[in-house]
Amino acid sequence: MDPERRLALCPGPGRKGRALPSGTGLFSGKPMRSRGFTLIELAIILVILGVLVGLGAGVVGLLIQRVHYNQTRERLEANVEAVVGRAELNRGCIPAVDDPSTPYGYCSSLLRNRTDAWRKDFLCLVADEIANYTASCSICARRTTSLTVVDEMDNATHPDIAVVLVSAGPNRNLQTAIQNTSTNTTVYIPLPGTPNFDNYTSSEDPLRPQSYDDLVRYVSLSELKGKLRCVYSEENLRILNHELPYGFVGSAYQARVYARGGVPYPSDGKYRWCVEDPDNATDAGLNFLCDTGNPLSGNCSSTPETDWPRCDQLLVNGTPSASGNFELTFWVRDNNDPSGGEDNIASRTLVLTINPATAGGGGGVCAYGSPITLVNRGGNRYLRVGNIWGGWCSTIFSSCIAFHSVTVTSNQCLRVYQDSSCRSLERILFYDNLYSADTSRDCVVSYVNGTLQD
């Protein structure tokens, strides 16, 4: 290196160094050799980073919590659909595990998602009346259940609940209150955030009072019936008869009135019956019989339930002493509400015609109960011969045969079809229909394309 340049760069004693060229330095805006942060600058940067990380962590936590809430609500709805699906497959009953000490059963095994988003098992309760272990189980026939929900969110009490599903929420602590009596259960849902609340205890979930955060989904009986399309269901209580057979003065008369659906009693007569007889058919020699008592009443709608006798079917018999048309109203009620007045009730008004002794002109002596021959005098028809079970024509084990003529006894019925595969049903016929059409009392009736002729 040039000695003179070395002296300029390394000034010794008594020498002045060369000044930096103008336009260079820290605040010049021009690049210079690298320079580190001061401690103060580092501290400021760390504080800013800490604030940003803290804010970000809070936002992320809220987003995760929101995702878990949404996932759990979706799982609750999916579980409701799973329970409805199992009810459809089990003829309107929900498979459940019975708890003899409570008026409800457990249905957790039916759920599509057994746990919520916080990996805690859902609690699933089903009312006894619609569980498969109950002999009279029928969702579509029911009007009431023993399960009630008190919801503080809408400040209301909701009776007749079918299913209750509960998630323990973020704290993984089931807190929803379940209060039992011998015949009813009430599920109490407090407001979210209620402090120091925990009214649910079990061996797997001990008492742990905390801020309430359970998520609850309950399904009313009417909502469940709507999901099962029960509006036109054959499970509804109804009287099957559409007419009563004719009778004749001086000839023994007998007919039965049938009911089906609803919630039958398990024994000693399926239904309770009541009959209104404004035209005094009893004065004309007719009787109305039920196994356990007299069903006649001047006003069935105001007659106490306990005064309605119980039997499977109502019998009308006797030997008429006067001719005429007698209007009769038949009432039937079931066992939907054994301890109250919320039973299913159905009624139907029918006219019983008693003809004079000379009516018909055929001179026949075909008494009620005698076999009647039905002859097909119309187009090609096919039929199944069945038996009457509880007022219903059961042909499940019978073959589809060509319909030319058939003899029907008092406990038999027919399903007549228009096609050889017995799928296009034209009419269902009971013995009473044939006896009513046989006005000549010769025990022979004609079938002409869906109508009966003597």
% residues pLDDT > 70 (the chain): 87
Bigger pLDDT: 45 or 144? 144
Provide the CB-side half-sphere exposure for 245 (13 A, CA).
29
Please state, rounded to an integer, the average pLDDT across all residues of the chain: 84
Tracing tokens 């004309």 back to the chain, one arrives at: 284
Which residues touch 409 (CB under 8 Å, ≥6 apart)?
371, 431
- The pLDDT value recorded for residue 133 is 76
Of 324, 355, 386, the domain-final residue: 355
Confidence of residue 58 (pLDDT cuts 50, 70, 90): low
269 and 385 in a single domain? The answer is no
Residue 157, in any domain of the structure: yes
pLDDT in tens, 409-431: 888 899 999 998 898 899 999 99
Lowest pLDDT segment from 203-217, 241-255, 350-364? 350-364
Residues 139-160: what's their mean pLDDT?
91
Residues 229-252: what's their mean pLDDT?
80
73 and 133 in a single domain? The answer is yes
- The pLDDT value recorded for residue 26 is 47
Decide if pLDDT at 348 tops 80. Answer: yes
Rounded to an integer, what distance in angstroms lies between the CA atom of residue 421 and that of residue 311? 37
Confidence of residue 102 (pLDDT cuts 50, 70, 90): confident
Other beta carbons within 10 angstroms of residue 10's beta carbon come to 9
Confidence of residue 291 (pLDDT cuts 50, 70, 90): confident
109 and 179 in a single domain? The answer is yes
pLDDT in tens, 358-402: 544 445 678 888 889 898 888 889 999 998 876 788 888 888 888
Residue 306, in any domain of the structure: yes
Q: Show the CA angle centred on residue 15, arms to residues 11 and 17, nearest 5°.
A: 55
Residues 231-253: what's their mean pLDDT?
81
Q: 258 exposed, middle or buried (CB, 10 Å; 0-12, 13-18, 19+)?
A: buried
**Nearest in space to 237 (alpha carbons), one of 160, 309, 104, 136:** 136
- The pLDDT value recorded for residue 61 is 63
- The pLDDT value recorded for residue 360 is 45
Which residues touch 360 (CB under 8 Å, ≥6 apart)?
248, 439, 440, 441, 454
Lowest pLDDT segment from 130-134, 207-211, 260-264, 435-439? 130-134
316 and 395 in a single domain? The answer is no
- The pLDDT value recorded for residue 284 is 92
- The pLDDT value recorded for residue 361 is 44
242 and 222 in a single domain? The answer is no
Lowest pLDDT segment from 21-30, 263-272, 305-314, 337-346? 21-30
Decide if pLDDT at 5 tops 60. Answer: no
- The pLDDT value recorded for residue 346 is 93
Residues 326-334: what's their mean pLDDT?
95
133 and 94 in a single domain? The answer is yes
106 and 253 in a single domain? The answer is no
Decide if pLDDT at 343 tops 50. Answer: yes
- The pLDDT value recorded for residue 37 is 67
Distances (CA, A) of 126 to 87, 152, 286, 378: 11, 21, 48, 53
Decide if pLDDT at 231 tops 70. Answer: no
Q: Are 384 and 399 a contacting pair, CB within 8 Å?
A: yes
Lowest pLDDT segment from 88-92, 150-154, 315-319, 325-329? 88-92
Count of domains for the chain: 3
Residue 45, in any domain of the structure: no
Confidence of residue 41 (pLDDT cuts 50, 70, 90): confident
Rounded to an integer, what distance in angstroms lies between the CA atom of residue 257 and that of residue 255? 7
Residues 188-201: what's their mean pLDDT?
92
Of 355, 384, 410, the domain-final residue: 355
Residue 128, in any domain of the structure: yes
Q: Specify the pTM.
A: 0.61
Residues 14-31: what's their mean pLDDT?
52
Rounded to an integer, what distance in angstroms lies between the CA atom of residue 383 and that of residue 415? 5
Of 208, 227, 246, the domain-final residue: 227
348 and 221 in a single domain? The answer is no
Decide if pLDDT at 247 tops 90. Answer: no
pLDDT in tens, 108-128: 888 999 999 999 999 999 998
Q: Contacts by 277-281 with C-beta closer than 8 Å and gap 24+?
A: 277/326, 277/328, 278/327, 278/329, 279/324, 279/325, 279/326, 279/327, 279/328, 280/326, 281/326, 281/328, 281/352
Confidence of residue 2 (pLDDT cuts 50, 70, 90): low
Q: Are 202 and 123 a contacting pair, CB within 8 Å?
A: no
Confidence of residue 248 (pLDDT cuts 50, 70, 90): confident
Decide if pLDDT at 441 tops 90. Answer: no
Decide if pLDDT at 91 tops 80. Answer: no
Domain that holds residue 414: 372-453
pLDDT in tens, 156-169: 999 999 999 999 99
Residue 13, in any domain of the structure: no
For the chain, what's the residue count?
454
Residue 87, in any domain of the structure: yes
Read off the CATH number of the domain in which 349 is found. 2.60.40
Residue 195, in any domain of the structure: yes
Q: Are 278 and 352 a contacting pair, CB within 8 Å?
A: no
285 and 348 in a single domain? The answer is yes
Residues 208-236: what's their mean pLDDT?
85
Question: What is the token pair recorded at 421?
Answer: 């595969």
Residue 41, in any domain of the structure: no
- The pLDDT value recorded for residue 115 is 93
pLDDT in tens, 305-321: 999 999 999 999 999 99
Rounded to an integer, what distance in angstroms lies between the CA atom of residue 26 and that of residue 47? 25
- The pLDDT value recorded for residue 274 is 96
Rounded to an integer, what distance in angstroms lies between the CA atom of residue 420 and that of residue 386? 17
243 and 216 in a single domain? The answer is no
100 and 195 in a single domain? The answer is yes
158 and 254 in a single domain? The answer is no
